[in-house]
């Protein structure tokens, strides 16, 4: 079955995205050219896989630094560069500068875009001033700025073609996510769940920047873009007012459900997929009900925004387990039936395998054994609680009550995996997942809403699981069986996006600053190199002048590195992360650099 699965996935990668009628034709063609890296996750399916094999498990130990580039910006460097033809496009955290670098001239700067943004945006950015990357299509680079401005730049000159305002920082809305271009539309989410934002995804016309549609995560059906009879959840119509019925009064208006994660698209089904984040506030006592459709996987039509199906992973979230992590699309056989699969590693510690055409739940298993807030998901289709996690009362922050410190909850609010994207190799059929091995104490308290002010309502502390000295693992996962195949412990959380290649090598970065290469089949470490700052960026590969290169942004920050990035010292600051990662200062410091590697 494994061999059949791999063949099918390889066919999906090569052929399944070939439908010219239902995706941006230029991107579809460029995705097949392994010399380029044309989207933040490599392709519409979020595989983060390259067919390049010049660098392989036999020679990767000989990698050398080919060249470097300083971004001139400190704080957290998430995401990674794009490579289009002979140009590399590099982005930075706030103020979100963009550089076009000439690969024919040792990375010389062709042009740079330096937006002028109000620094008052910085205090309303929840977990550092990060930006997760750029999008490209039709000679245009798309940037989603921190102040929510969506900017279209001429890829050759850097000239601004259009701008569109996607939100209002004065209300706590910010832009941190990487856009995705489908056909003639730029699709982008919004951040701000910790400020009581009613969150959404929005489509803009690629040519003009005109807004085409907007779909909210919570609220009335016309704002959700739901058809009560045609939009389904676990195979059943959601019904009228499916979200409103699960909120107290008008609290949905400040209900969160933000959409700052990664997007995926299936041209054959003409559906795009993404997840929504935590409900606001973090104090569950103040928002009784399931709080739909926060914490939800959405499948939507890119032309209209209409939802085909939804699945809420963590109803009435009591732990800030944002559901925004990437959806990875693969094809496989299960139970003798061919399935179009969606695989998702959620913050809540459960890895989900779903039928992406119907929304049927197929697998839901823990991908870190220490996860304890739930005993698992009810998989009995005849049960009234089918598809819901079984909550352990001891770790329910609501059942313990306001002003009670619930201790030993695993995972912590930053999840078993945060935004750092996993990779999938069709050669092995495995998923390579950077994870957090962290638990927390969580004390909810009553909080009032004021526009533009934090609307959190909980105090957190984070630490490794009892008896463990490490805070992260890099794992290989079998999504058919729902099992860990191998696991490499790391001193700190692995906050870098992974890359798998046809050379049977998997790359990732560590918070101390190491770029690492491991054997895709066994996990054996093959190479490591320490870059100038901690890595929370995503590994990229490309081919230029007959040589394969590996590129990584280093620059400590993000939620795990917020203490270093923002100079915080209170252990409970940074939503609890400062104390948990206090030891990072012994291993790395601030800095923003692109490091590019090749064989001698």
As a whole number of angstroms, the distance between CA 126 and CA 173 comes to 10
Q: What's the token pair of residue 45?
A: 């399916």
Helix (H) or strand (E) holding 2: helix 2-11
Answer for the pair 274, 324: CB distance below 8 angstroms, yes or no.
yes
Cα torsion for 381, 376, 352, 465, to the nearest 10°? 180
Distance CA 324, CA 395 (A): 22
Structure tokens at 564: 């270093």
Paired tokens of 326 = 């990437």
Element at 222 (helix H, strand E): helix 221-224
The Cα 586–Cα 600 span in angstroms is 32
Token pair recorded at residue 171? 């209300």
552, 539, 547, 554: which is closest to 501 by C-alpha?
A: 539
Torsion angle, alpha carbons of 279, 285, 291, 297, to 10: 50
Whole-angstrom Cα Rg for the chain: 22
Contact between 31 and 25 under an 8 Å Cβ cutoff? The reply is: no
Can you tell me the distance from the alpha carbon of 166 to that of 225, in angstroms, rounded to the nearest whole number? 18
Burial class (CB in 10 A: 0-12, 13-18, 19+), 355: middle
Contacts of 199 (CB under 8 A, 6+ apart): 189, 190, 191, 192, 193, 216, 217, 218, 256, 257, 258, 259, 276, 277
Helix (H, G, I), strand (E, B) or coil at 215: strand
Residue with tokens 């049960």, as numbered in its chain = 383
Active site residue 317: no
Phi, psi torsion values for 400, nearest 5 degrees: -75, -30
Catalytic residue chosen out of the listed positions 221, 317, 320, 322: 320
Q: How would you class 76 by CB atoms within 10 Å of its CB: exposed for 0-12, middle for 13-18, buried for 19 or more?
A: buried
**Residues 132, 564: Cα–Cα separation, whole Å:** 19
Q: What are phi and psi of 577, to 5 degrees?
A: -80, -25
Contact 38, 30 (CB under 8 A): yes
Q: Three-state SS for 8? A: helix
Going by DSSP bridges, is the β-strand pair 499-501/49-50 parallel, antiparallel, or unpaired? parallel
Name residues whose C-beta falls within 8 Å of residue 591's C-beta, 6 or more positions apart in sequence. Answer: 74, 532, 533, 554, 555, 556
Cα-to-chain-centroid distance, residue 331: 21
Place of tokens 């729902």: 482
List, by residue number, the catalytic residues. Answer: 320
């Amino acid at each position: 079955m494994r061999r059949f699965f791999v063949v099918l996935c390889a066919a999906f990668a090569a052929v399944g995205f070939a439908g010219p009628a239902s995706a941006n034709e230029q991107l579809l063609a460029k995705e097949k050219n392994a010399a380029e890296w044309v989207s933040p996750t490599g392709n519409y399916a979020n595989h983060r896989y390259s067919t390049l094999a010049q660098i392989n498990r036999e020679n990767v130990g000989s990698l050398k630094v080919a060249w470097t580039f300083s971004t001139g910006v400190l704080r957290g460097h998430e995401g990674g560069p794009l490579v289009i033809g002979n140009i590399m496009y590099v982005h930075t955290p706030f103020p979100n500068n963009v550089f076009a670098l000439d690969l024919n001239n040792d990375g010389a700067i062709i042009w740079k875009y330096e937006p002028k943004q109000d620094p008052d945006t910085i205090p309303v950015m929840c977990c550092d001033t990060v930006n997760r990357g750029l999008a490209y299509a039709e000679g245009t680079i798309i940037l989603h700025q921190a102040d929510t401005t969506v900017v279209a730049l001429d890829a050759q000159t850097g000239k601004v073609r259009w701008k569109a305002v996607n939100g209002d920082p004065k209300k706590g809305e910010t832009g941190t996510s990487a856009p995705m271009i489908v056909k003639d539309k730029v699709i982008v989410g919004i951040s701000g769940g910790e400020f009581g934002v009613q969150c959404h995804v929005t489509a803009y016309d690629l040519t003009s920047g005109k807004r085409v549609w907007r779909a909210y995560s919570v609220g009335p059906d016309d704002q959700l873009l739901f058809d009560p009879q045609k939009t389904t959840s676990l195979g059943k119509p959601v019904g009228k007012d499916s979200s409103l019925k699960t909120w107290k009064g008008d609290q949905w208006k400040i209900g969160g459900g933000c959409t700052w994660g990664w997007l995926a698209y299936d041209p054959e089904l003409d559906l795009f997929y993404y997840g929504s984040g935590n409900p606001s506030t973090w104090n569950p006592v103040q928002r009784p009900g399931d709080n739909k459709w926060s914490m939800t996987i959405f499948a939507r039509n890119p032309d209209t925004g209409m939802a085909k199906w939804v699945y809420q992973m963590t109803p009435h979230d009591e732990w800030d387990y944002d559901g925004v992590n990437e959806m990875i699309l693969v094809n496989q056989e299960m139970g003798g039936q061919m399935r179009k699969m969606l695989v998702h590693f959620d913050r809540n510690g459960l890895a989900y395998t779903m039928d992406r055409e119907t929304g049927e739940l197929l697998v839901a298993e823990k991908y870190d054994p220490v996860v304890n807030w739930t005993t698992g998901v009810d998989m009995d289709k005849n049960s009234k609680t089918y598809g819901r996690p079984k909550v352990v009362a001891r770790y329910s922050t609501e059942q313990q009550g306001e002003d009670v410190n619930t201790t030993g909850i695993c995972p912590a609010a930053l999840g078993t995996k945060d935004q750092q994207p996993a990779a999938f190799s069709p050669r092995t059929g495995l998923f390579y997942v950077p994870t957090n091995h962290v638990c927390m104490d969580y004390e909810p308290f009553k909080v009032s809403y004021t526009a533009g002010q934090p609307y959190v309502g909980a105090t957190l502390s984070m630490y490794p699981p009892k008896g463990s000295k490490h805070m992260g693992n890099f794992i290989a996962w079998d999504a058919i069986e729902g099992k860990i195949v191998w696991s490499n412990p790391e001193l700190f959380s692995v906050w870098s996006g992974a890359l798998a290649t046809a050379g049977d090598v998997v790359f990732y970065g560590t918070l101390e600053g190491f770029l690492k290469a491991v054997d895709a089949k066994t996990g054996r470490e093959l190479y490591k190199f320490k870059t100038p700052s901690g890595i929370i960026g995503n590994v990229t590969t490309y081919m230029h002048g007959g040589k394969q290169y590996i590129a990584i942004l280093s620059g400590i920050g993000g939620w795990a590195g917020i203490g270093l990035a923002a100079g915080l010292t209170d252990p409970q600051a940074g939503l609890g992360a400062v104390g948990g990662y206090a030891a990072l200062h012994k291993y790395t410091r601030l800095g923003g650099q692109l490091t590019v590697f090749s064989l001698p």
